Amino acid sequence: MSQTLAITGMTCASCVSHVEEALKKVPGVTEATVNLATERAEIILTDSEEASPEAVTRLVRAVVAAGYGARAVSDDVFAREDAGRQQQDRHEQRMVIASALLSAPLVLSMMVHALGVDVMLPAWLQWALATPVQFIFGARFYRAGWIALKNRSGNMDLLVALGTSAAYGLSTVQMLRGITSMDALYFEAGSVVITLVLLGKLLESRARRQAADAIRALQSLRPDTARLIDAGRPMRFNRLILTEHLLPNDRVLVLPGERIPSDGVVEEGESDVDESLLTGESEAITKGPGAHVTGGTVNGLGLLIVTVSTSVSESTLARIIRLVSNAQASKPPIQRQVDRVSAVFVPTVLVIALLTLLGNLLLQGSWEHAIINAVSVLVIACPCALGLATPVSILVGTGVAAGKGILIKDATALEMAHAVTVVAFDKTGTLTEGRPVVQGLHMVGDAPEAEVLAALAGLQSGSEHPLAKAVMAYALERSVTAQNVSGVTAQPGLGVTGQLVSGPWAGQSIVLMSLHGMQQHHGAMVDPLPSLAADALQSGLSLSWVLRASDKRATPLAWMAFGDQIRPQAKQTIEQLKALGVRTVLISGDHIVAANRVAESLGMDQVFANTSPGQKAEIVASLRINQAVVAMVGDGVNDAPALAAADVGIAMGSGTDVAMHAAGITLLRSDLTLIPEALSLSRRTWQKIRQNLFWAFFYNVVGIPLAAMGWLTPVFAGGAMAFSSFTVVTNALLLRRRSSTP
């Protein structure tokens, strides 16, 4: 079980560590991941510990005891909290303006004095202006710093509180001693640092809200209300209810131009449905009775009555939102290393500040210079940028991906994708359209063709497999009625078997087996292949055999040839991957001739054919030798083991739920060009992470020594610290400016 909490009061990477440690101490918690950018905590509970109200209360209490705020959140938290965040931003904006107005005379006086004009404000007036800034607008730093001290740790607020208090305290003491020269008072230092830090947090908050736009955009697709048609009443007697109250089997009326409230099936009416905001498909799709519709899509000009198939919380849109949210909240391995550094960063800075104080005192003998230099060290070393460098990049990267129809399950998948050097593809349903057509049923015995086709139709009538649909369409074209078949079982990659209930072969089994399965279990029957079957293979068709089995004896009745069109974007996709320096491999359960034909036409580098699902996984594992990073692309149940075995699994949106669960990346629409787009976006995101970490460390590595040597004033240090966080967030937002694959 998992639980999500909204965390308030965090300001830097050290806060993240404190909250995680507090949550991990709660009984029943196996893992806790806190994200500074999204201000969310994802908690994994043991199987025996349900996410009950009591368990949630224990988690919240643990966070509150650590000095932070917490509450449970639901899937639509971003949409519901947006107004509250904007109100909070307006409050913080007023705080920044008021603090700046009080600090401005202090700064102007100092600047004019530096130009040689003596217009120094009286000391008492400087004190009067600085005091409200220090203790009213800077109160948040004292509160959070005190909490950190109680937890025997440190954070950004503690550094700001200590630094500005030292500058304010020194100036107050000097004023009381009657030393009121411009060089002896530093009221402007503490005031300006607090103002700049508040400004930096305001800009950072706004930028982080922009980074979360992807979630809010998805949330906005869900209508607030639905027109419920009461059971047994005409559609004109409908009433508005909250969408979240819809239940499976409810009937809803969707007027032209309205959004469909939840996943369902069209019961009456016909209309064009615009799915572009959800899938990226630009053309509207005509939906009539029996057609599946997705919640959040827009109804065209027709009137639809839809039977709801799932609750809103379990709809396709809700699952997409959860996937994006989970990816944004998760941490890649590099961030865990940064967190370990951050855990010891603040104590290290405190030691450096103390050494700076003592060193300057010994060398210069001046308490004033020693304290000011120590203050500069404390202020510039705040680890805000360090805590934001990775999560903000992940937040923006996964949001951009979602907007393109690429769902990334977690940050690890995003991080691994940037290093992919080999992409392995399944053939049917991935490189091909996945809508095979029966090219012919060829008898090899005396059995009537109509009887064989009727048995096959019964065998495949309950399956959603593409080959099954092709068989059913072939039987329908020939007006063949399906026989009753029971006990149907399937072996992925090999075939399907069932027992005939009626007809001349009642009690016997009917089997549809792939050529690979036949060669593996009934080699003598297909060696050599009939010349017509061999010609079909040479032309790129796939073969399956029809068998009748009784008393452990199997008799071949016929063979079927299936044809499937290569997807229009397949060749372009392979070319784009090659441009990225990625090798492409085809792994197919089909015959080597058919697999080779597809691979050669697309210009792929390597082919593996006649593979079972287990063999696909073994091949993927073998491709990872020599430190190659492998991505596997598939769509079916038989691809799930290979998707799980790959460094990065990529599932086609048209595929099965099993494939999507096994994959780290899911493509919302069956557009193969999204694969190089996903890899390219991962590379750009990883580049932003490295840039942000460089700048975060650069500010500290360069700034701390300069501050310790007295070359940076507290005011400049405060500006640099605030600017570092803003730089990191803004740099990550640049990911949204570039949208095309190179």
Indicate which residues carry an active-site annotation.
426
- Strand pairing partners for 649? 632
212 Cα distance to chain centroid: 11
Residue 341 vs residues 25, 66, 371, 490: alpha-carbon distances, Å: 21, 20, 27, 52
Greatest extent of the chain over all pairs of C-alpha atoms, in Å: 117
Cα gap 445→16, rounded to integer Å: 72
718 HSE (CA, 13 A, CB side)? 25
Beta strand 606-608 with 495-500: parallel, antiparallel or unpaired? Answer: unpaired
Query: What is the DSSP annotation of 131-193?
Result: HHIIIIITHHHHHHHHHHHHTT---HHHHHHHHHHHHHHHHHHHHHTT---GGG--HHHHHHH
Those residues whose C-beta lies under 8 Å from the C-beta of residue 718, and which sit 6 or more positions away, are 192, 193, 194, 196, 197, 379, 380
Q: Tokens at residue 15, please?
A: 């806060």
Q: Tokens at residue 396, please?
A: 């923006």
DSSP H or E run through 570:
helix 570-579
**566 three-class SS:** strand
Number of other residues whose CB lies within 10 A of the CB of residue 108: 13
Number of other residues whose CB lies within 10 A of the CB of residue 247: 11
- Strand pairing partners for 514? 544
Peptide bond into 528 cis (omega under 30): yes
Angle, helices 13-24/139-150, rounded to nearest 10 degrees: 40
| CB contact at 8 A, 85 and 209 | yes
Sheet holding 648-652, edge to edge: 406-408, 665-667, 648-652, 630-634, 422-425, 583-587, 606-608
Cα gap 650→573, rounded to integer Å: 14
| CB contact at 8 A, 556 and 525 | yes
Query: What is the DSSP annotation of 340-408?
Result: HHHHHHHHHHHHHHHHHHHHHHHHH--HHHHHHHHHHHHHHT-THHHHHHHHHHHHHHHHHHHHTTEEE
Alpha helices in 177-282 (DSSP H): 187-211, 213-219, 276-279
**733 three-class SS:** helix
Angle, helices 466-477/449-460, rounded to nearest 10 degrees: 140
| CB contact at 8 A, 357 and 370 | yes
Q: Tokens at residue 43, please?
A: 């908690």
| SS3 of 423-490 | EEECHHHHHECCCCEEEEEEECCCCCHHHHHHHHHHHHCCCCCHHHHHHHHHHHHCCCCCCCEEEEEE
Cα gap 467→601, rounded to integer Å: 23
